[in-house]
Amino acid sequence: MAGFAALAGVRTPLLMMSAAVLIAAWAMWWHKRTAACEPDKACAVPNRKSRSLALLIVSTVLVLLAGVWSSLEPTLMKWVS
């Protein structure tokens, strides 16, 4: 757990890099969604799209939660104790 304490100093740059990667991932997903696709190609598989979308949504929620955690934690700690 001591390794996580060392990451606290670089929290903001990590969040900014995570947000930038998520923005790029959303742009790539959206571009692939609107791009024309030939039959029997990988982009024609609907399960891949739904899995990618689910992972993007979960990742976005986690990064947003990490970004606002410092304001949520005191309230949660009061509620728990």
Tens-digit pLDDT profile for residues 28-79? 888 775 556 666 666 655 555 788 889 999 999 999 999 998 888 888 888 8
The DSSP symbol for 81 reads: -
- The DSSP element (H or E) to which 64 belongs, if any, is helix 46-80
pTM as predicted: 0.70
The interaxial angle of helices 46-80 and 11-34, nearest 10 deg, is 150
**Which two tokens mark 55?**
């992972």
Structural domain boundaries in the chain: 42-81
